[in-house]
Amino acid sequence: MKRFEGKGVLVTGAASGIGHATVTRLLDEGATVVGLDLAEQSPDTGGYTYHRGDILDAGAVGAAVAAVVAGAGRLDAVVHAAGVAGGGPVHLLPDEEWDRVINVNLKGTFVVARAALTQMLQQDRVGGERGAIVTLSSVEGLEGTAGGSSYNAAKGGVVVLTKNLAIDYGPSGIRANAVCPGFIETPLFDSVVGMPGMEQAREGLRYEHKLRRFGQAGEVAAVAAFLVSSDASFVSGQAIAVDGGYTAGRDHHVTDLLGLGGP
């Protein structure tokens, strides 16, 4: 029996990057999946139900939750991967850009969590649980990065909001965890570090991942799938870095001096 057979899951940001990799992973493991994204359509529509909608639109989010329940009988899990990039030095940041990044990344998490929790609280416990929620924060929600400002503030907020979900709803049998990816090769990543003039910064970011590479969307999806599965039944309130060692500490090229820099 596949791990998610008979389970209903909502994935936001489903059309690309980590969200799409999560959809693929969950489908492979037998889940009934509804995806939500702003894109006109998913790159492949087979195997799951795709809804086009804005995570800031409570009606669209509610409809996606209802679609999961219609297909699977209940909402067992949510992986909230939708988000946008943004930031810049605070003294140069217009109000509207600050609001855009905070609204999508932080308020959007609130809107999706509210809809999910409203449904999960109505459900009977299965295996002791009513549901599980995974939010996507970032290593930039755990520590600062130059120019991060609004993005870092939003992702830091996602971490603490997720911990509060774990506190408030744990007694009701609902788990909540945040995944904090390092720099992952996705369209969102490319839209920032792929810009002209970012070559040196890109190499510096790659080097600070102790595995000396960027991550892949499927590597994050694997952790998200674990966290919404029964294998993680005693894991809640955590901010789990999936970052190739990025947040382990600074290197400052000392490993090279020690002859440990690798081939």
- Which candidate in 151, 169, 207, 246 is catalytic? 151
CA distance 167 to 171: 8
Contact 176, 135 (CB under 8 A): yes
pTM: 0.95
The residue type found at 143 is E
Tokens, residue 188: 């969102």
Terminal-to-terminal C-alpha distance of the chain:
42
CA 169/CA 118 separation, integer angstroms: 11
pLDDT by position in tens, the chain (length 263): 699 999 999 999 999 999 999 999 999 999 999 999 999 877 776 799 999 999 999 999 999 999 999 999 999 999 999 999 999 999 999 999 999 999 999 999 999 999 999 999 999 999 999 999 999 999 999 999 999 999 999 999 999 999 999 999 999 999 999 999 999 998 878 887 888 888 998 999 999 999 999 999 999 999 999 999 999 999 999 999 999 999 999 999 999 999 998 77
- Choose among 137, 174, 139: nearest CA to 157: 137
CB 69 within 8 A of CB 119: yes
Q: What is d(CA 22, CA 20) in angstroms, rounded to the nearest whole number? A: 5
What is the rounded CA–CA span in Å between residue 206 and residue 135?
24
Q: Which residues pair with 135 in a beta bridge?
A: 80, 178
- Report the distance separating Cα 64 and Cα 66, nearest Å: 5
Q: How far apart are CA 129 and CA 126, in angstroms?
A: 5
How far is it, in rounded angstroms, from Cα 160 to Cα 174? Answer: 16
Examine the residue annotation and report whether 169 is marked as an active-site residue of this protein: no
Residues paired with 235 in a beta bridge: none
Instruction: Indicate the Cα dihedral angle 68, 72, 78, 82, nearest 10°.
Output: -40
Give all domains of the chain, ordered by start, each with its CATH number: 8-183+218-242 (3.40.50.720)
Say how far apart CA 182 and CA 135 lie, in whole Å.
15
Tell me how far apart the alpha carbons of residues 79 and 140 are, in angstroms, rounded to a whole number.
19
